[in-house]
Chain A
Amino acid sequence: MEPEIAVEGLSKRFGPVSAVDCLSFAVNRGEIFGLVGPDGAGKTTTMRMLAGVMSCDGGRMKVAGHDVAANAEAVKGSISYMPQRFGLYEDLTVDENIRFYADLFGVARTERRERGAMLLKAAGMTEFRDRLAGKLSGGMKQKLGLICALIHRPRVLLLDEPTTGVDPVSRREFWQVLYSLLAQGVTIIISTAYLDEAERCSRLALLHKGRLLLCDTPENLKKRMPGATVVVSSPQARDLRELLAGAEGVSTVILVGAGLHLVVDDADRRVPELKARIQSAGIAFDEITASEPAIEDLFVAYVQGR
């Protein structure tokens, strides 16, 4: 089966900055493909080129059967793109925004009404249809963005950090809608800053400075993880980092929320050692356990390893 999205040697430069550097990957129909990487990794630039709103300097892109690099306009009827910055009209109501995008994509009136009502209901926004988009909460704005993106049944959905700054409940609802789309055969590329979200993708591409570091399923990526992960939760995480960085058998130490993730060579052996060390230094901690490696650990391990 031909992949729904195929990217080969894609590149984009901004003056001296190589925003996207010879990027290649392929996404199959019905997959949700995650672009992961820190700010400036090139996620947005990649999305823009795939959406046909920005030219590329080199490489090939095939999206939904169209050669985007050669003819950007042809693909636009088959995709929907949600930019990182909210792109709808804040001085139009929810309904007016939906109608505008439905008209631009040539959706028939009856279909617009039915599908619009269905999507609004699924997003729990039916009662807000006459509200100005600018007066919606962050989460609702993003859901409205998704509704406008889905009003015309796109084959490919490009979502650039759609859940950044969105409350956890809205995020869950957002993902529910995404999963239901996958079942309908829609292909999704999503970039995200949340690593728990990254793990929900069918496959991930780890980007750093415009280059592809790794591309695989979350499970396989974790298997590649050298060593094991130890999680320490502590109110004094910063002090702990000082203490444990460079301890025997510890390769990386990163701050994660109210604690640390350590990458160690052998969890069974190192956990008691580390525990003793922390206690003798007199730093308060709640818990220290071996754990499944998270994508974030992998990322840091990889980037630091280079």
Chain B
Amino acid sequence: MSPRRLIAMSRKEFIQIVRDPRSLLIALLMPVMQMVLLGYGVSLDAKNIPVYVYDQEGSQDSQALLKRFQASPYFDVRKTVNSYRDLRYAIDSDRCKLAIVIPFDFSRKLRDTGFAPVQVIVDGTDDNTANLSKGYARAVIARFSADVQHNWLQRQGMPIAASNGNISVDTRIWFNEDLESRNFIIPGIVALVMALVGALLTSLTIAREWERGTMEQLLSTPITPSEVMLGKLIPYFMVGMADAALCLMMSVWWFGVPFRGTLASFFTTTALFLIVILGIGFMISVAIRNQLGASMIALLVTLMPTSLLSGYAFPIDQMPAAVRAITYLVYSRYYVTILKAIYLKGVGVKALGAEMTALAVYAAVIGLLATRAFRKTLD
């Protein structure tokens, strides 16, 4: 390995990136666009869910409960109706996603027994929103009933401490207390950006030499295959790391996602992931000697699994068992898991030993294969 030739190759490649508008666009604009599009577009948050109310009783207690719904940022109480038929119509015509029915004996049951049923009707057509709104509604009601029971017990003259028969359901969300789905998704978008930019750029690098006819002369020089590979990948590695930093800054300062881990663990894992991505892009570029074909294949083998099987937006534990098994083969799965943990839990590299090892093994194997992929011959 000659440092001289390595640097010459890297410098040449770097100049070519800087002078190629398409490469520049991919390197600089793509990450920002991805972050913005996906960060805003795929937000799974259900905020301001439209709610209709059928309050059969119209008492102080029922109004107190409805006020809780009004106060919640997740719900937007739009209208009060007077029949099930109206509710049905509202849901069918998409005017509301959730309906609350308060029975006529609500306050009496509450007063006498401390327990009163409330009916919540959810529009199940959108599975995801349905689940979320059901959960939010349950939380609002649980909090309300806890307060009511508290008061009731006090009125009965019972000491609160002795009320061990009453189990209050207290749901606590860990690591993402605001239940912001954006916080779950944005760390994963970093992986998506790395896969997209890294694979797209490197897939062009060898194919370009073949297409433009510069390969033949390059092959006639004393440069070694590993100098070609490393020399070409170093600039893309630096571009990738810069893009990662850009994504990190955008996610924290623009989207307000908490970042609780250390920069060192973030960049270490990103480096490993980049090695995998660049290695794959390089091998594709070697195998497919034209730029268009190479970039298509590169997207297929890096972006597809990263967006579908890494768990960045679609939770892996909700996938069918067979698909779940496949995700263990997807390198991005480990990176996404680590990223989320670094961002939201702030754990160090040590706590993620298994994932880190998997990623490192992947990087080593791909790196080795990539070194052998390039042969210095025309045939």
Task: Please list the residues of chain A having a beta carbon within 8 angstroms of any beta carbon in chain B.
Answer: 48, 51-55, 72-73, 76-77, 79-83, 85-92, 96, 99-101, 103-106
Contact = CB atoms under 8 A, between A and B. Distances in A.
A76 B377 contact: no
B219 interface: yes
Contact of A83 (B8, B16, B217, B376): B217
Interface in B57-116: none
29 contacts: A48-B378, A52-B220, A53-B377, A53-B378, A54-B377, A54-B378, A54-B379, A55-B379, A73-B224, A76-B221, A76-B222, A80-B220, A81-B220, A83-B216, A83-B217, A87-B215, A89-B12, A89-B16, A90-B212, A92-B16, A96-B15, A99-B8, A100-B8, A100-B11, A103-B5, A103-B8, A104-B5, A104-B221, A104-B223
B172 interface: no
B156 interface: no
Contacts of A99: 8
Main secondary structure of the interface of A (DSSP, over half): loop
Contacts of B215: 87
Contact of B217 (A55, A72, A77, A88): A88
A73 B8 CA distance: 19
Contacts of A100: 8, 11-12
Contacts of A101: 221
B15 A103 contact: no
Nearest to A132: B19
A106 B16 contact: no
A101 B4 CA distance: 11
B12 A96 contact: yes
Contact of B376 (A73, A79, A96, A104): A73
Interface of B: 2, 4-5, 7-8, 11-12, 15-16, 19-20, 212-224, 376-379
Contacts of A72: 376-377
A52 B379 CA distance: 11
The 4 A-B residue pairs whose C-beta atoms are closest, nearest first, are: A87-B217, A103-B8, A81-B220, A53-B219
Contacts of B19: 91
A100 B217 CA distance: 12
A76 B20 CA distance: 30
B204 to A, nearest CB: 13
Contacts of A52: 220
Contacts of B219: 53
B170 to A, nearest CB: 64
Contacts of B377: 53-55, 72
Nearest to A54: B378
Contacts of B217: 81-83, 87-88
Contacts of A55: 377, 379
A51 B220 contact: yes
A156 to B, nearest CB: 11
Nearest to A51: B220
Contact of B214 (A51, A89, A104): A89
B245 to A, nearest CB: 27
B5 to A, nearest CB: 5
A53 B220 contact: yes
Contact of A91 (B15, B218, B223): B15
A85 B216 contact: yes
A105 B376 contact: no
A85 B213 contact: yes
Contacts of A76: 220-222
A21 to B, nearest CB: 17
Contacts of A53: 216, 219-220, 376-378
A103 B7 contact: yes
Contacts of B20: 91
Nearest to A102: B8
B50 to A, nearest CB: 56
A104 B215 CA distance: 14
B16 A104 contact: no
Nearest to B2: A106
Given A53-B220, A104-B223, A106-B4, A92 B378 contact: no
Contacts of A89: 12, 16, 212, 214
Contact of A79 (B4, B220, B223): B220
A73 B228 CA distance: 14
A80 B222 CA distance: 10
Nearest to A55: B379
Given A89-B12, A91-B19, A96-B12, A77 B222 contact: yes
Nearest to B225: A73
Contact of B222 (A90, A92, A104): A104
Contacts of B379: 54-55
A86 B213 contact: yes
